[in-house]
Amino acid sequence: MVSSGFIIRAFTNWEKMMLYSLKKILFEHFAAKVFAIFTVLLIIISLAFMIFFVRQQKKSMEDALLRNGSLLSALLAYNARLGVFSENNEFLKDPVESVIGQEGVLKVSLYNQDEAFLVERHVSGEQFIDNTEKDPELKKVMDNIKATGEPFIKDNEQFLELWSPVVSESNYSTDDSLFFGKEASENKEKIIGFARIAVDKRPLIKQINALLINSILIAVIVLLTGLVVLYLLIRRISGPLNRLTEGVRMIGRGEPVEKLPEETSDEIGKLATAFNYMSESLRNREASLKESEEKYRQLFELESDAIFLIEDGTGTILEVNLTATKLYGYSRDEFLSINERDLSVVRKNETQLNNGNGISIPVYYHQKKDGTVFPVEISVTHLVWHGRDVRISAVRDVTERINAEEERAKLEDKLRHAQKMEAIGTLAGGIAHDFNNVLGIIVVNTELAMYDVTKERQAHENLEEIMKACLRARDMVRQILAFSRKDEARTRPVMVTPLVKESIKLFRTSVHDNINIIQEIHCESDIIMADPTQIHQILMNLYNNAAYVLNETGGTITIAMDNIKLVDGNIAEYPGLSPGRYLRLSVSDTGQGIHPDILGRIFDPYFTTKKFGEGTGMGLAIAHGIVKSHRGVITVESEPGTGAVFHVLLPVIEANIRIEDEYEMFCPTGTERILFVDDEKPIADAMDLLLSRLGYDVTSKTDSIDALRFFRDNHASFDLMITDLVMPHMTGLELAKEVFNIRPDLPIILCTGYSEMIDDEMISEAGITYRTTKPLVISEMANIIRDALDKKKT
């Protein structure tokens, strides 16, 4: 057991260096290894083959020599039988000569059965020493052959001695046996002598030596040839392999690899083909992977939620996406250096979010880099990533959602409030209908009474007051209906000054004593095209708004009205308006003013600074809408601490327009026959009386079915029908349809205290000519009737 180290130490430095180099080459080069292995293998095989071949040949030659010698010896013994038997040298001559002449035979000897020498022949000129005659072993050999009956071989250094028994077939025992030949013979061979030949081994030795040398030469030639072929083969294999190796390295480095040449169709060629295929596949897969990675990277980075990859247990942040960096303000590197605990903020009150399915989700709070705390919703998925337990946290900023939910809650409240208001409006509409009916009775009867009382009398003035109050009540009902959108706008030339004064008078009665109201009306032109109800609404909304501000502290509300001419120099202050003359109505208060931040939102629907339940936030919005619909503008000026001023600009009309006085008593008359239907008996009676006073022939009915029946029977005699809408059994609309079917030419006036149920299409289908709203003053009714009858005639 000698270690390699010991061997190496035994060598000189130079040899050590050579050995080291050789070792290095063998270890680092596969081709060298293969070459070395195959060289050793070839050497071993050559040596083994050579040794085997030489030995085989040697044995073969020795055997051949032996065989030939044995054959010669046997041949001699056989041919010499007669001579040996008769011991007649004459008969021995030919056999001996024939053998001695054979190549390699040195000596031929024959002995008789008594072991006596008969004849011997030497190869002439051959010099060798043979002491066999003096050899005491001679007798032993012959005895041995006698005993075994087998040939005997003695191998001397330079020659082989081959003995063969001279055998005779058994003699015939009796004369009669001669007659039967072998059948009668004893079949027993008898040794009658011995033949010996000496065969020269030296040629054999020479042959063996020559064979050995030839074998060595051949082995060397084969080895060298094999090595050369091997070398070329290895080069042929290692060349492509080296190219393949380089190609693989290039792939590993990510460099582009050219296709390897597929020069052959053998395994090398197939390897090159496979490599090219693999390279192509890798490229494609890499491209796909890159594309996929890019896609998922983009998805990861651009995901709207912040994505964190966090190690379970430690909370170490392993990876974040772009959204996270933008949301929190940390860079990626900063994130990777902090822990998730650094982002969390603990709040005492737990907030919940509704996920839309009625399930509450807890809301957490995180802190940005700038210290801002914001609510987040976190979804977590656990997985094993590169052997570590990690979790992917998707963090979503739910600030807006929370705000939205709060906003929604507010909106829901507002909706509930609006629905409540709508319900109130509907109720109001219903009440208005009935109230209008009642008011209509009062108005009609008051008008009738006014007819009977002269103007000079106090009663007439009282009746006028009653009338005004009725009309005011009617306006109030209209305002209520307008608020609940139940009433239609009716634009006409309106003098604003009385409206304003009237509204101030009404407003004074509703404010606290700590609020002082100043009226400053200095207006030359105050006629505008407007719906007086809506103008009243504007005024009341502005008044109420100012009153709310001064409610607790008190103060002064100034209501002013004047004219303003918009020209190029000042029109910019009132965007949306054309140059011209305007009525300016201003309502100011001495409250705390409006903060600039909310000044721009003051006219937004539902925007209010009032406490919950104190207002819907629609007052100024409605005012703004009404002003706009009247082609005007509403502005506000305010500074904190100095109160606020609202200006309403409405275009005045200059034409000499006849302003209808609500109280004008001009009533056209007629003689036509009118059918009046209203389920309220007082109204029916009052209208019957009123219309009769106007000269008409009135038939009033309080039951719509009865009215229809009557009409059917007397349809030709009527010129006009006036009907209420809401009636039991048959509505006014249905009645109108029936009447229209009978008399399509008959004008029909629908008079109702609540017209929301019907629209224009229904009016048209029923053949209704006019639609009015109660309570109507007699003059309005008389004009409408006259107008309808006149149109029928035309």
CB atoms within 10 A of CB 764: 10
Considering only 175-183, 307-315, 705-713, 780-788, which stretch makes contact with another protein by CB under 8 A? 175-183
Of 112 and 525, which has the nearer Cβ to another protein?
112
The residue within the footprint of another protein, chosen from 21, 56, 60, 88 (CB under 8 A), is 88
Taking the alpha carbons at both ends of the chain, their separation in whole angstroms is 144
Of 86 and 379, which has the nearer Cβ to another protein?
86
The residue within the footprint of another protein, chosen from 82, 230, 322, 762 (CB under 8 A), is 82
**φ, ψ dihedrals at 109, nearest 5°:** -135, 150
Under a CB-based contact definition with an 8 Å cutoff, are residues 76 and 164 in contact?
yes
Tell me the closest approach of the beta carbon of residue 80 to another protein, in angstroms.
10
For residue 278, state whether it binds another protein (rule: CB under 8 A).
no
Of 90 and 103, which has the nearer Cβ to another protein?
90
**CA 352 – CA 373 distance, rounded (Å):** 16
Tell me the closest approach of the beta carbon of residue 191 to another protein, in angstroms.
13
Write out the E strands in 369-491.
373-385, 388-397
Q: In a 3-state reduction of DSSP, which class is residue 757? A: coil
Under a CB-based contact definition with an 8 Å cutoff, are residues 189 and 149 in contact?
yes
| Contacts to another protein from residues 611-640, by CB under 8 A | none
Of 176 and 350, which has the nearer Cβ to another protein?
176
**φ, ψ dihedrals at 305, nearest 5°:** -95, 155
Under a CB-based contact definition with an 8 Å cutoff, are residues 308 and 392 in contact?
yes
**φ, ψ dihedrals at 106, nearest 5°:** -95, -40
For residue 183, state whether it binds another protein (rule: CB under 8 A).
yes
Of 182 and 712, which has the nearer Cβ to another protein?
182
| Contacts to another protein from residues 687-746, by CB under 8 A | none
For residue 78, state whether it binds another protein (rule: CB under 8 A).
no
For residue 115, state whether it binds another protein (rule: CB under 8 A).
no
Please list, in sequence order, all residues whose beta carbon lies within 8 angstroms of the beta carbon of residue 479, skipping any fewer than 6 positions away. Answer: 533, 536, 537, 540
Of 193 and 532, which has the nearer Cβ to another protein?
193
Query: Residue type for 467, please?
Result: M
**DSSP conformation class of 752:** E
Considering only 58-66, 162-170, 510-518, 757-765, which stretch makes contact with another protein by CB under 8 A? 162-170
The residue within the footprint of another protein, chosen from 28, 133, 157, 176 (CB under 8 A), is 176
| Contacts to another protein from residues 184-223, by CB under 8 A | 184-185
Of 125 and 181, which has the nearer Cβ to another protein?
181
Matching residue, tokens 């035979």: 105
Of 95 and 632, which has the nearer Cβ to another protein?
95
For residue 86, state whether it binds another protein (rule: CB under 8 A).
yes
Tell me the closest approach of the beta carbon of residue 189 to another protein, in angstroms.
10
Tell me the closest approach of the beta carbon of residue 190 to another protein, in angstroms.
10
Matching residue, tokens 């007798």: 139
Of 102, 201, 209, 110, nearest in space to 154 by CA:
201
Matching residue, tokens 């009132």: 574
Of 370, 379, 362, nearest in space to 326 by CA:
370
Considering only 166-174, 387-395, 475-483, 710-718, which stretch makes contact with another protein by CB under 8 A? 166-174
The residue within the footprint of another protein, chosen from 126, 169, 639, 654 (CB under 8 A), is 169
The residue within the footprint of another protein, chosen from 114, 133, 157, 175 (CB under 8 A), is 175
**CA 703 – CA 622 distance, rounded (Å):** 41
Longest dimension (CA), the chain: 213
**φ, ψ dihedrals at 375, nearest 5°:** -80, 145
The residue within the footprint of another protein, chosen from 81, 201, 417, 701 (CB under 8 A), is 81
Tell me the closest approach of the beta carbon of residue 54 to another protein, in angstroms.
45
For residue 89, state whether it binds another protein (rule: CB under 8 A).
no
Query: Residue type for 28, please?
Result: E
The residue within the footprint of another protein, chosen from 56, 173, 360, 514 (CB under 8 A), is 173
Provide the β-strand partners of residue 396. Answer: 377
Considering only 27-35, 58-66, 84-92, 334-342, which stretch makes contact with another protein by CB under 8 A? 84-92
Q: Is 192 exposed, middle or buried, given 0-12, 13-18 or 19+ CB atoms closer than 10 A?
A: buried
Residue 548 C-alpha from the chain's centroid? 55
Considering only 182-190, 480-488, 726-734, 784-792, which stretch makes contact with another protein by CB under 8 A? 182-190
For residue 85, state whether it binds another protein (rule: CB under 8 A).
yes
Considering only 174-182, 431-439, 693-701, 758-766, which stretch makes contact with another protein by CB under 8 A? 174-182
For residue 171, state whether it binds another protein (rule: CB under 8 A).
yes
Considering only 58-66, 163-171, 341-349, 638-646, which stretch makes contact with another protein by CB under 8 A? 163-171
Of 90 and 255, which has the nearer Cβ to another protein?
90
The residue within the footprint of another protein, chosen from 3, 13, 131, 174 (CB under 8 A), is 174
Tell me the closest approach of the beta carbon of residue 174 to another protein, in angstroms.
4
For residue 75, state whether it binds another protein (rule: CB under 8 A).
no
Of 30 and 85, which has the nearer Cβ to another protein?
85
The residue within the footprint of another protein, chosen from 13, 14, 90, 114 (CB under 8 A), is 90
Of 172 and 606, which has the nearer Cβ to another protein?
172
Output the CA–CA distances (angstroms, integers) from residue 94 to 121, 292, 669, in the order listed. Answer: 12, 106, 192
Tell me the closest approach of the beta carbon of residue 88 to another protein, in angstroms.
5
Considering only 77-85, 249-257, 499-507, 576-584, which stretch makes contact with another protein by CB under 8 A? 77-85
Of 49 and 85, which has the nearer Cβ to another protein?
85
**CA 523 – CA 528 distance, rounded (Å):** 12
For residue 98, state whether it binds another protein (rule: CB under 8 A).
no
The residue within the footprint of another protein, chosen from 179, 277, 296, 663 (CB under 8 A), is 179
Of 81 and 366, which has the nearer Cβ to another protein?
81
| Interaxial angle between packed helices 458-483 and 532-549, expressed in degrees from 0 to 180 and rounded to the nearest 10 | 80
Tell me the closest approach of the beta carbon of residue 71 to another protein, in angstroms.
21
Q: For residues 672, 676, 681 and 682, what is the CA-based torsion angle, rounded to 10 degrees?
A: -50
For residue 168, state whether it binds another protein (rule: CB under 8 A).
yes
For residue 180, state whether it binds another protein (rule: CB under 8 A).
yes
**φ, ψ dihedrals at 722, nearest 5°:** -115, 125
The residue within the footprint of another protein, chosen from 91, 374, 451, 548 (CB under 8 A), is 91
DSSP, residue by residue, 309-376: EEETTT-BEEEE-HHHHHHH---HHHHHTSBGGGTEE--SSPEEEE-SSS-EEEEEEEE-TTS-EEEE
For residue 434, state whether it binds another protein (rule: CB under 8 A).
no
| Tokens coding 209 | 């030596």
| Interaxial angle between packed helices 681-693 and 399-452, expressed in degrees from 0 to 180 and rounded to the nearest 10 | 50
Does an H or E element contain 748, and which? strand 748-752
For residue 18, state whether it binds another protein (rule: CB under 8 A).
no
Helices (H), 453-510: 458-483, 496-508
Tell me the closest approach of the beta carbon of residue 169 to another protein, in angstroms.
4
Write out the E strands in 652-693.
673-677
Burial call 500-509: b when 16+ CB within 10 Å, e when fewer: bebbbebbee
Q: In a 3-state reduction of DSSP, which class is residue 151? A: coil
Q: For binding to another protein (CB under 8 A), which residues are involved? A: 81-82, 85-88, 90-91, 168-185
